[in-house]
Amino acid sequence: MALLLASTSPIRRAMLDQAGLDYGTASPDVDEDAVKARHEGSAAELALELARAKALSSSTEGDAKWVIGSDSVLEVGGKLFSKPGDRDEAAAHLRYFSGKVMQLTSAVALARDGGIDWDHADTARLVVRDLSDEFIAAYLDADWPEVSYCVGVFRMEGPGVTLFDRIDGNYFTILGLPLLPLLGALRARGEMLA
């Protein structure tokens, strides 16, 4: 098998499936909290660092020629957010996001033989509408625990679309993987038909 996805994300797997890729999966062995704690730089640089670390964590496994690592980082009002730890934290995140702009950066990296061969980051801008406490409670009733696994507490492929007034950016980036640049990189490396 030429490709290995170093991710447990069902949406990333779905994107690769829909693109018709043949790949295996591995759970990346990365201490994300440690990476975030020592990181100095932009959200885009952090997303790239996490994507690279995930790709490298599995780059010598099995028969894979290329390992795909990906991650997303959310910045709102100059503050970085991670996935919520529980439903109360998810509600607190949504109250903070209300009426603000999310900057969601997703990054992808390709590793081979223990080294990074290619990477890419892309940022989408999502304008959150004003959210009432009643809406937040109903929203979490409808989509919990699924959104607990999502930075930003939303799934664009679910009710999360109702959080926004406007979205500027690539759909795949918002889902968590800059898919079109990745497919281009795989074609350039002979892993897909050109």
Judge whether 130 counts as a catalytic residue. no
Record: fold of 3-188: Maf protein (3.90.950)
63 Cβ contact partners less than 8 Å away, ≥ 6 residues apart: 1
Stated pTM of the model: 0.93
Between CA 127 and CA 101 the distance in angstroms is 5
What's the average pLDDT block by block, 10 residues per block, for the chain (194 residues)? Answer: 88 95 92 90 95 90 81 95 95 98 98 94 98 98 94 92 97 96 95 78
Between CA 67 and CA 59 the distance in angstroms is 6
- Calculate the dihedral angle through the C-alpha atoms of 28, 34, 38, 44, rounding to the nearest 10 degrees: 40
Catalytic residue among 22, 29, 63, 71: 71
pLDDT of residue 49: 97
